[in-house]
Amino acid sequence: MRLSRYFLPVLKETPREAQIVSHRYMLQAGMIRQSSAGIYSWLPLGFKVLKRLEQIVHEEQQRVGHLPMLMPTIQSGDLWKQSGRHNSYGPEMLRFHDRHGREMLYGPTNEEMITEIVAAYVKSYRDLPLTLYHIQWKFRDERRPRFGVMRGREFYMKDGYNFDLSKEAALHAYNRHLVSYLRTYERMGLQAIPMRADSGPIGGDYTHEFLVLADTGESEVFYDSAITDLTFGDRAVDVDDYTACQAVMDEFTSRYARTDETHDEALFNEVPEDRRRSARGIEVGQIFYFGTEYSEKMGAIVQNEDGKQVPLHMGSHGIGVSRLVGAIIEASHDDKGIIWPEGVTPFHCGIVNLKQGDEAADAECDKLYDSLSALGLEPLYDDRDERAGAKFGTMDMIGLPWRITVGPRGLKNGVVELTSRRTGESEELPPEQAVARIAEIYQGVA
């Protein structure tokens, strides 16, 4: 993409309404624009990142056998009355009547709707296990929406639901989701720590939430520092193997890690003193097992191997896709702007032409652009007639991991400059070697 043809409304001033880094940088980098309190339009750069994260979530969900679908944003109030949550959910749920006077709501979550769908079609143990998920906009009417996409009223979320014949099978689905989420977050350049949590209005006895450590996190967390040494890496975990998934669950949850809501001072004191840590954390996902709570109320009953009618065991599993955009920025930035991990960057490389209109510089930038594009990479070429400082400032703000700088002086020596946004280190290379280096970097990115 040529920047002269792109819609990138970068702001020079600091937005007064932005209280945290991610909100400020998303506004300054032209990623979002507020429509009303807690509701945003996603501009091309922000939308591009959002879709990259969504694609990673889709890939990792389907890798473990979960099936994508799509449910509507608007739900019938009658469904929620069936489960008993219509009144108990609270004022965060936006309720209204359609023109026929029927009670409707803008879905904050989908336990009722997915249970009704499965109850209509799944009648036998032969149809199990089953996990369905979708990625859809949700709405929760927060009393005090703030922090940009971190606590908005409208948000983009992956929510998945497993249906199993027994508690043991459902807990395997629970562990399988933990494995899937660990790999998902690592692909996004994040270390998300699973922590024992409170189930809130979803319900259930088993739940873990995943938090990314960041100074601006809304939750206080207490943890054993040894947990931050764990990585999922390239482990070849067979997600159909109960023992293998349980082993990963045990490894990542056996060390103390809890939010302030579930913190246990006595247990925390059993952690060696030099490993006790407290920090702030941002919630980016949560998994639940809630047994037969919804299936019994909503008729999700199947015939088991013995011919008996039994309620399905269920769980739900969410990832805040839009919130992740803000969480990544909170975890990866400096005083110049965003620093995108390679796995989620909106463009793989920036190209800066130091002297637009110079025949040699223009020709080399065009060649670099074409070479990177031919390799399946997406460069962003700043071909504007702007001073060099403005071009560098834009590239730093939007946070592309790599930048190739082209100028007449370097070209006389047959080189361009390749710069890492994260480290700031630069290297002079022949143009074709710079392209090869970028290709090599992204070859290793899942």
User: Mean pLDDT of successive 10-residue segments in the chain (446 residues)?
Assistant: 97 87 96 95 98 98 97 96 92 95 96 97 97 97 90 95 97 95 95 81 72 88 93 89 95 92 93 96 94 95 97 96 97 96 98 96 98 97 96 98 97 97 97 97 85
pLDDT (0 to 100) of residue 200? 58
CATH of region 8-338: 3.30.930.10
Cα–Cα distance for residue pair 121/249, rounded to 1 Å: 32
pLDDT (0 to 100) of residue 204? 53
| Token code pair at residue 354 | 């130091």
How is the beta sheet containing 402-406 ordered, strand by strand?
Answer: 379-382, 349-353, 402-406, 416-420, 426-429
CATH 3.40.50.800 residue ranges for the chain? 349-443
pLDDT (0 to 100) of residue 368? 98
Cα–Cα distance for residue pair 147/139, rounded to 1 Å: 16
pLDDT (0 to 100) of residue 210? 95
pLDDT (0 to 100) of residue 184? 97
Cα–Cα distance for residue pair 184/212, rounded to 1 Å: 13
135 phi and psi angles, rounded to 5 deg: -120, 115
Cα–Cα distance for residue pair 50/38, rounded to 1 Å: 17
CATH of region 349-443: 3.40.50.800
Interstrand relation of 130-139 and 154-164 (parallel, antiparallel or unpaired): antiparallel
CATH 3.30.930.10 residue ranges for the chain? 8-338
**C-alpha to C-alpha distances, 160 to 70, 104, 173, 191, 310, nearest whole angstrom:** 11, 22, 11, 21, 22
